[in-house]
Amino acid sequence: MDQIKIFSPATVANVSCGFDVLGFCLDTIGDEMIIKKTSQKGITISKIDGYKLPFETENNVAGVSALALYNDANPDFGFDIEIYKKIKPGSGIGSSSASAAGSVFAMNELLGRPYNKTQLTNFAMKGEALASHCEHADNLAPALFGGFTLVKSLAPLKVLQLPTPNELFAVVIHPQIEIKTSESRAILPQEVPLKNAITQWSNVGSLVHALHTEDYSLLSASLEDVIVEPHRSKLIPHFEKVKQTALKHGALGCGISGSGPSVFSLCKGEVIAKKVKDAIQNVYSQTGIDFEIHLSKINTEGIKIL
Ligand code: HSE
């Protein structure tokens, strides 16, 4: 096999209470990439379609993660990357992760799968760090492993795959403004009150238990973020209105997707998810801010070969 085409999905990081550790994978939104073996050694990027991003390998998220794997594998040929970007950079649904995870996933396939998913996540973290100025894997892990994931630790990297309840659907609204992850991290406090920490870790624990037991009402009660959301929600126009609308129409919970501006709602069943989507769409149409809205089943497979 000399070339491969892949779908690299969008992801929702944090999932309200799990800042930097929890994430899940979406189904209907993602980038496509074509990776080819080349006789010339090294990594090149020959095509970027959809958004304006750097072509220099060491300035491009997909290029940096590709280099991390390439330098480790040291093959006697090179790779060329084509990126068909559908996920807008700065959208809060793992645009940089899709690129970073996509290149290493595809190269691993072309090399005959010498690396496991944890090793691929480690390489991809180098690319993700270029975009957000810090290493985190809460978008990368769901993109590579699929479903819900929890990043237990970064060094050594340990990713836990959590079960995905069957009837879970996500609605994601993406107001068409850009929030840079590095900037929305910079506004967060470095210390949190003990009272809030207690609420937050009780929510993370019960969310994990809810996923294992398919307990939708416990899941709903756990989708609460008392640490990050109060700060970041100020950056997202009409966040409270979206959240109240989602909850009123039956969503289990609603929160900021990654570092925003996208906002996710989790719903039990497609019928409720459609109602929530229509209601949010109605409300946001009146704000004068352009937006896209997606309904997606949770993608339990992650990145896939097309
Ligand atoms: N956990 C990261 C953050 C995800 O919220 O900053 C960024 O996409």
Q: Are 284 and 238 in contact (CB under 8 A)?
A: yes
pLDDT value at residue 78: 98
Say which amino acid occupies 254: C
Whether the domain at 3-162 and the domain at 168-297 fall into the same CATH topology? no
pLDDT value at residue 131: 84
Name the residue with the closest Cα to ligand 1, atom 6: 259
CATH 3.30.230.10 for domain 3-162: yes
Rounded to the nearest whole angstrom, what is the distance from the C-alpha of residue 213 to the centroid of ligand 1? 27
| Residue 51 CA from chain centroid, whole number | 18
Q: What angle do CA 234, 238, 244 make, to 5 degrees?
A: 105
Tokens of 198: 């207690």
Best mutation site among 12, 181, 200, 232 for ligand 1, i.e. most ligand atoms within 8 A of its Cβ?
Answer: 181
Domain ranges of the chain: 3-162, 168-297
Report the atom number in ligand 1 closest to the C-alpha of 13.
4
Rounded to the nearest whole angstrom, what is the distance from the C-alpha of residue 231 to the centroid of ligand 1? 13
Name the residue with the closest Cα to ligand 1, atom 8: 258
CATH of 168-297, one of 3.10.290.10, 3.10.110.10, 3.30.70.890, 2.60.40.1260: 3.30.70.890
Span between the terminal Cα atoms of the chain, in Å: 14
Residues known to be catalytic: 128, 181
Residues with CB under 6 A from ligand 1: 13-14, 19-20, 132, 136, 138-139, 181, 185, 258-259
Rounded to the nearest whole angstrom, what is the distance from the C-alpha of residue 68 to the centroid of ligand 1? 22
Across the 306 residues of the chain, what is the mean pLDDT of every consecutive 10-residue run? 96 98 96 98 97 96 97 98 95 95 98 98 94 88 98 97 97 94 91 98 98 98 98 96 98 97 98 98 97 97 97
Report the atom number in ligand 1 closest to the C-alpha of 228.
5
Please give the full DSSP string across the chain, using - where no structure is assigned.
--EEEEEEEEEEESTTT-TTTEEEEEEEEEEEEEEEEESSSEEEEEEEESS----SGGGSHHHHHHHHHHHHH--SSEEEEEEE--SPTTSSS-HHHHHHHHHHHHHHHHTT--S-HHHHHHHHHHHHHHHHSS---TTHHHHHH-SEEEEEEETTEEEEEEP--TTEEEEEEEES----HHHHHHTS-S---HHHHHHHHHHHHHHHHHHHHT-HHHHHHH---SSSHHHHGGGSTTHHHHHHHHHHTT-SEEEE-TTSS-EEEEEESHHHHHHHHHHHHHHHHTTT--EEEEEEEB-SS-SEE-
